[in-house]
Structure 1
Amino acid sequence: MSISKPLISRLRSAQGPPHAYSPPGAHRSLLLLASFLLGGLLSAPAQAQTVRGQLTGEDGQGLEGAMLVLLSRDGRSVRQVLTNSSGNFELSWTSGEYRLRADRIGHASTFSDWFSLEDGETVSIALSSEVEAISLGTIDVEADRRCRVRPQEGLAVTQVWDEARKALEAAAWTQERGVYRYEMMGITRTLDRDGRRVLDEDRSFNQGFSRAPYISLPADSLAEHGFVTEDDQGLIFYAPDAAVLLSDPFLDTHCFGLEQGEDEAEGLIGLRFEPSRGRRVADIEGTLWIDPATTLLRWIEFRYTNLPIPQELQSGLVGGRVDFSALPNGTWIVSDWRLQMPRSGVRLNDLTGQRYAYLEGYAVQGGQVLRIHGDDGTVDLNAQEGSRITGAVFDTLRAGGLEGARVYVVNTGMEAVTGFDGRFTLGGLDPGVYDVTFGHPYFDALGYVPQPFPVEVGQDTVAQVTFLAPPRRRIIDELCQDDARP
């Protein structure tokens, strides 16, 4: 693929037609196709029969938030439902021979006996959950690094996958059936070519009923056409959701292995996946990170492979991340997501006169669920604050904090006003390097803007910075020097 102009992508939504998107002051970027959809419940099949019952613990009390899975004779999952606060469940499907599997994260699965579901019949089943707790802390990651397609039972990688599967099935079920009212923040940002410095950022807020914060394409389509497609307007990148990761097309075209977590993932077990040999379409490779103590799925990070773009734009920083959160009632949601794509520029070769593409930086699109409300109107989840920049603006003349100063991140709209002690906090930041400066009505009257100061923040960390407000004489000297320059 040759490029003689900047790459173009489109941002689509369920509320309108495709449209071109261009971050302020940057070339048009490659962005995630993420939809905010109005929710709807999946209907049961015609001529449905019913299975109902209760899942209890060893004390005889009903267990809330367990996933009941209806399995066919060939082992396929055909229907799922979460138990309610009393441990009761009910699901409907076509006639046939089935059994139930009860999944609880951190516990061994429980299976019912096989039973027949006849036309118009209602079958009642009582299940008692296994008390056996599962721990992944003793798994030898080094002994099971080999990448396998659909690994067989008894392997460590299979045990880790079973725990990840429980969370993914709950997330997929929540997306299909649960209707939450999401309060979400959308984020678009532009990064430099190192992927660290934030050049600009825009945040938008959306509140409404939705099946999920974002959805992917059907797994069959992704398996056939790939996670990156091209049309006459440019490239479109897709990210996986829980349903895609659980699907047969994905499991048949990817192998799985284990890896040990480092840095942010220190202490976690990674379930690594990569495309199986022979895949020729654009695909993804990455890792599902799981807490071995609680067996909870924390997040998924992925990178794109076999991209249909020039080598000059290829980068290991092109990829994304999806964070999951468990709710008290057993449902799971995508709580945070990011996709980072290359931004291209075009230069002219002085010797040949030909135009060529170069990596100018990255465009990031993502979002965060701030709060969700259930049918009863209560808040089920509050998003974490993320990283923060805290500090103070110090008045050198009065030897104290400067009240009423406006501290802000350049080109982002994020700002805070200092209190009586001159202190401030800028919250909700993603990891990166931000150019931070401050202003004050006194400075504004003089036309003085202090030089921005680069501040680096990590994942869920607090960075501290102190600004010194210069005295009037120094400000005037600087302004006069600027005026004297040619």
Structure 2
Amino acid sequence: MRLSLVLVVAALAVPTSLPAQSVRGQLTDSITKAPLAGAFLTLVDERGVEKARTITNNAGEFLLTSPAAGAYRLRSKRIGFRPYVSTPLTLTAGGTISYSAAVDPIPIALAEIVVQGERQCDVEAGASVAAVWDEVHEALAAVSWTSRDPAYWYAVTRFARETGPGGRPRGPDSTWRDDGYRLIPVKSAPPEQLEREGFVVVDQDGWTYHGPDADELISDAFLRTHCFETKPGRGETEGLLGLAFTPARDRRLPDITGTLWIDQGTAMLHHLDFTYVRLPQEVVAPRAGGRIEFMRVPSGAWIVRDWVIRMPRAQMRQRPMAMGTEVVVVGFQEVGGNVLEIKTRSGTIVYRSESASEALAATPTNAPLPAPATISSAPAPAPASAPAAASVAPATAPGTTPARAVGLARNRNSNVIEGAEIEASTANDAYALVQDARPTWLHSRGIISIRDPDAGVVQVYLNGNPFGDVNKLREIQRLEIRELRFFGAADAQLRYGVGHAGGVIEVSTGAVAPTGGEPIAEPSPASNSNVLKAEEFEESTAIDLMALVQEFRPTWLHSRGVTSIRDQSAGQLRVYLNGVSAGDVNQLREIRVSDVKELRFLPAAQAHARYGVGHEGGVIEVLTK
């Protein structure tokens, strides 16, 4: 059995400076006149396609930037209420308009829905299916958006266990802690790939099981290949309303069937139960599948709280009386995780499980991954394999040690560079640091695959996200680094999947668990070239921030060059206004100096760690008064 990780390629692109067009404003309740804080808001084009999404702040304020000029509408959908849709708005290239709206709080009566309707292969065809789907879609879209906004610190316990065919454990669970900011809590393969290949993929190394993530469930590909019907909750799902889905009749690939459960009173998404069907080689395993539980945090964002996936282990056995062979399920491997605690960047606890105190003290952080299990009886039809770590567990797992590394002294571990060793180095960047301390990490493994010439290339992962080849190490400053780890071919493919036979260098930058008060990695105000505070520019005659930065920190505006062939904005310098994406550096011209108390510059590694893939050009953070 192998653990296969889906490779999410961060393609490199030619940056182009395009004018941004935005709409800013405020949402309020039409009855109470109170601001609608934590409300999701989308910008949709003339065909109703979502082009941008954000969440309102505590004052109900928002800023949305469209990818191109044109006619758009604002759509706000609060779960449990009818959606608000604005009149058409015209956004001109480089312009910003103001638009505020008072939203009528009209509740949706889900309790009146007839929940045993006809099976629909078009979610908009049946009234009951359409009503439930609207609530489910909004929650899943919020989960997807939140996963790309690393504003929360997670303390997570992950686990792996072996069970018999009936679910009885075989030996103790393997558990370990995995803490940090999560960019993608649950990640599957791209929807088009799942439509083309199915949810269980067979290759020469075994079977790979893909779990469904939010992007997959709301994708056009998933809607094209599945039919839906509403169903009532019974037993443990009493009080819940289910939206069940099954593969379309003409679909023959391995797939999933399942039910998305929402609260019938509040319309809040509760959990997803799913089962793998049409398994290869006609394997029958009704328990193969999993569960993903969702939760809305006080800010209005949605997260994945708990998850588990069960993958069958099968063997080929001789039938009695020499009647040939048959495939028999002999057990399951279960992998999953539980969120113990969630904090904001300022250290505010937004969620804590009942068992958090005991678990946080008892479970070791970044403990070893369990060694891959091996099926001893041959020929097995296919060792089961977990979907990408991202398919069943939060991405970004820096510092996790393979099982075989247990017991090595940390200060003598040839696969780790950390702490005092980093501080003592005179290197400027991560590449020079590795050259000095672990030069063998950079050795080429040669061409190991005719079909994939890059299979033997050493790859770099920054805070759990693909960052490129070893040359990207030159972009990470030594002072930003908390730890580096090297994974050889076997461990890299166990952790990140096929295509990593050249090995992986993991880089963890200096984020630590928030403890309250100041944001993480707050730069020192004294002589900090990456911070510009009001007291430094109070005598300036600059009117807007572009002029101010040109006067005091002109190096912030330097181009970072070509960083992606496929993403034309990957190397572009981005601007964030009070934590909300505002666009490229041209947005600085629209912000008055008199409104600002502080600016901060985040170079590539810090911007990548804080805001995720696509910020390799750096970020200028603007904090207003």
Offset at residue 167 of structure 1 (A): 0.9
Q: Is the aligned partner of 1:188 residue 2:160? A: yes
Q: Which of 285, 293, 298 is the aligned partner of 1:328?
A: 298
Offset at residue 179 of structure 1 (A): 3.3
Task: Please give the alpha-carbon distance, in whole angstroms, between the structure 2 residues aligned to 1:364 and 1:314.
Answer: 17
Change (3 A) 1:384 1:332: farther
The match for 1:97 is 71
Task: Please give the alpha-carbon distance, in whole angstroms, between the structure 1 residues aligned to 2:186 and 2:214.
Answer: 11
Task: Please give the alpha-carbon distance, in whole angstroms, between the structure 2 residues aligned to 1:192 and 1:242.
Answer: 30
| 8 A contact 1:101–1:110 mirrored in 2 | yes
The match for 2:3 is 10
Offset at residue 351 of structure 1 (A): 5.4
Indicate the SS of the match to 2:110: coil
Q: Which of 210, 234, 237 is the aligned partner of 1:265?
A: 237
Correspondence 1:158-169 to 2 at 5 A: 158-169=130-141
Q: Which of 82, 104, 109 is the aligned partner of 1:108?
A: 82
The match for 2:350 is 380
| 8 A contact 1:219–1:250 mirrored in 2 | yes
| 8 A contact 1:151–1:256 mirrored in 2 | no
Q: Which of 122, 125, 136 is the aligned partner of 1:149?
A: 122
The match for 2:339 is 369
Task: Please give the alpha-carbon distance, in whole angstroms, between the structure 1 residues aligned to 2:294 and 2:3.
Answer: 26
The match for 1:82 is 55
Offset at residue 89 of structure 1 (A): 0.6
| 8 A contact 1:192–1:199 mirrored in 2 | no
The match for 1:305 is 277
Indicate the SS of the match to 1:183: strand
CA offsets 1:90-138 (integer angstroms, 9 cap, x no match)? 0111111110111111111111100111101101111111211123111
Q: Which amino acid aligns with 2:43?
A: L
Indicate the SS of the match to 2:313: strand
| 8 A contact 2:6–2:188 mirrored in 1 | no
| 8 A contact 1:269–1:290 mirrored in 2 | yes
Q: Is the aligned partner of 1:213 residue 2:206? A: no
Task: Please give the alpha-carbon distance, in whole angstroms, between the structure 2 residues aligned to 1:218 and 1:226.
Answer: 11
Task: Please give the alpha-carbon distance, in whole angstroms, between the structure 1 residues aligned to 2:168 and 2:320.
Answer: 30
Indicate the SS of the match to 1:172: helix
CA offsets 1:181-234 (integer angstroms, 9 cap, x no match)? 211111111121112456431111111222132211111111111111122100
Correspondence 1:269-418 to 2 at 5 A: 269-309=241-281, 311=282, 313-348=283-318, 352=322, 356-385=326-355
Offset at residue 161 of structure 1 (A): 0.9
Normalising by the residue count of structure 2, what TM-score does the alignment of the two structures yield? 0.53
Q: Which of 227, 234, 248 is the aligned partner of 1:255?
A: 227
Indicate the SS of the match to 1:324: strand
Most deviating of 195-204 and 63-72: 195-204
The match for 1:460 is none
Q: Which amino acid aligns with 2:39?
A: A
| 8 A contact 2:120–2:129 mirrored in 1 | no
| 8 A contact 1:150–1:252 mirrored in 2 | no
Change (3 A) 1:145 1:270: farther
Change (3 A) 1:256 1:353: closer
Q: Which amino acid aligns with 2:275?
A: R
Q: Which amino acid aligns with 1:177?
A: D
Task: Please give the alpha-carbon distance, in whole angstroms, between the structure 2 residues aligned to 1:45 and 1:379.
Answer: 39
| 8 A contact 1:191–1:200 mirrored in 2 | no
Q: Is the aligned partner of 1:122 residue 2:134? A: no
| 8 A contact 1:180–1:211 mirrored in 2 | no
Task: Please give the alpha-carbon distance, in whole angstroms, between the structure 2 residues aligned to 1:135 and 1:329.
Answer: 25
Q: Which amino acid aligns with 1:52?
A: R
Change (3 A) 1:374 1:178: same
The match for 2:173 is 201
Task: Please give the alpha-carbon distance, in whole angstroms, between the structure 1 residues aligned to 2:326 and 2:350.
Answer: 51
Gaps of 5+ in 2: 359-369, 371-625
Change (3 A) 1:368 1:13: farther
Task: Please give the alpha-carbon distance, in whole angstroms, between the structure 2 residues aligned to 1:240 and 1:330.
Answer: 23
Change (3 A) 1:44 1:193: farther
| 8 A contact 1:226–1:282 mirrored in 2 | yes
Q: Which amino acid aligns with 1:90?
A: L
Offset at residue 13 of structure 1 (A): 7.7
Offset at residue 364 of structure 1 (A): 0.7
Task: Please give the alpha-carbon distance, in whole angstroms, between the structure 2 residues aligned to 1:44 and 1:253.
Answer: 37
Offset at residue 11 of structure 1 (A): 3.5
Task: Please give the alpha-carbon distance, in whole angstroms, between the structure 2 residues aligned to 1:377 and 1:13.
Answer: 32
Q: Which amino acid aligns with 1:77?
A: E
Greater percentage in strand: 1
| 8 A contact 1:63–1:86 mirrored in 2 | yes
The match for 1:24 is none
- Specify which structure has the bigger relative contact order, considering alpha-carbon pairs within 8 angstroms and separated by 6 or more residues: 2
CA offsets 1:272-318 (integer angstroms, 9 cap, x no match)? 11111211221111100011111111000111122113x3x312111
CA offsets 1:128-160 (integer angstroms, 9 cap, x no match)? 112111231111112x142332323x7011111
CA offsets 1:243-298 (integer angstroms, 9 cap, x no match)? 11111111122111111112211121100111112112211111000111111110
Q: Which of 200, 207, 229 is the aligned partner of 1:235?
A: 207
| 8 A contact 1:227–1:237 mirrored in 2 | yes
Task: Please give the alpha-carbon distance, in whole angstroms, between the structure 2 residues aligned to 1:45 and 1:105.
Answer: 37
The match for 1:140 is 114
- Number of residue pairs aligned between Structure 1 and Structure 2: 352
The match for 2:478 is none
The match for 2:44 is 71
| 8 A contact 1:325–1:335 mirrored in 2 | yes
Indicate the SS of the match to 2:195: helix
Q: Which amino acid aligns with 1:100?
A: L
| 8 A contact 2:227–2:248 mirrored in 1 | yes
The match for 2:197 is 225
Task: Please give the alpha-carbon distance, in whole angstroms, between the structure 2 residues aligned to 1:213 and 1:226.
Answer: 22
Q: Which amino acid aligns with 2:2?
A: S
Indicate the SS of the match to 1:278: coil
Offset at residue 354 of structure 1 (A): 6.7
| 8 A contact 1:346–1:357 mirrored in 2 | yes
Q: Which amino acid aligns with 1:363?
A: Q
Q: Which amino acid aligns with 2:228?
A: F
| 8 A contact 1:335–1:383 mirrored in 2 | no
Change (3 A) 1:244 1:70: same
The match for 2:105 is 131
Task: Please give the alpha-carbon distance, in whole angstroms, between the structure 2 residues aligned to 1:45 and 1:239.
Answer: 37
Indicate the SS of the match to 1:365: strand
Task: Please give the alpha-carbon distance, in whole angstroms, between the structure 1 residues aligned to 2:121 and 2:260.
Answer: 15
Percent of aligned positions with the same letter in both sequences?
35
Indicate the SS of the match to 2:196: helix
Task: Please give the alpha-carbon distance, in whole angstroms, between the structure 1 residues aligned to 2:201 and 2:95.
Answer: 46
CA offsets 1:154-177 (integer angstroms, 9 cap, x no match)? 701111111111211111110122
Change (3 A) 1:261 1:90: same
